[in-house]
Amino acid sequence: MEKLRDCYHYLISKIYPARVNEPANIEMLKELEKAWFILENAKEKEESYLLSYRNAFFLLKKNVSNTIKDGFSVIKSQLDELGSIELNSLIEKLDKPLYDINELTEILFLSNMIFSCYDCTIQNQYPLE
């Protein structure tokens, strides 16, 4: 879970530097961690625990997907063909049913490797006169 947290924080800080400590981003991650902990440590597997986990996972996954798409749109013109194919592949994985924390962590790790090579801040395309 710690690797997921670190990768998620890096992605958010890389794509949205001003939003890294926004309560919504932190809360989504905390909800997933809490739901995962309850599910993993429950003496009896209740469907409500699984549902809570899947809901929390879905919200975080959707946020990760949107963040990667936003970052991709910013660096698209700078990417080589391999980087573009890799980011598209990661986005496709996120758009499919996925509820595995390890797979989400791997997606975050790979996207962070790509984004770390680029300046993802949106530059003003029209200079002020």
Q: Which residues of 35-53 are buried (b: 16+ CB within 10 A; e: fewer)?
A: bbeebeeeeeeeeebeebb
Question: Is residue 124 included in any domain, yes or no?
Answer: no
Question: Is residue 127 included in any domain, yes or no?
Answer: no
Q: How many domains does the chain have?
A: 1
Question: Is residue 96 included in any domain, yes or no?
Answer: yes
Question: Is residue 15 included in any domain, yes or no?
Answer: yes
Closest of 67, 58, 66 to residue 14, by C-alpha: 67
Question: Is residue 93 included in any domain, yes or no?
Answer: yes
Question: Is residue 84 included in any domain, yes or no?
Answer: yes
The residue segments making up the domain with residue 71 are: 2-115
Question: Is residue 100 included in any domain, yes or no?
Answer: yes
The Cα 103–Cα 89 span in angstroms is 13
The Cα 86–Cα 116 span in angstroms is 14
Q: What is the pTM of this model?
A: 0.84
Kindly report, residue by residue over 7-64, the tens digit of the pLDDT: 998 998 888 876 666 777 788 899 999 999 999 998 887 899 999 999 999 999 999 9
Q: CA distances (Å), 45 to each of 34, 56, 86, in order? A: 15, 17, 37
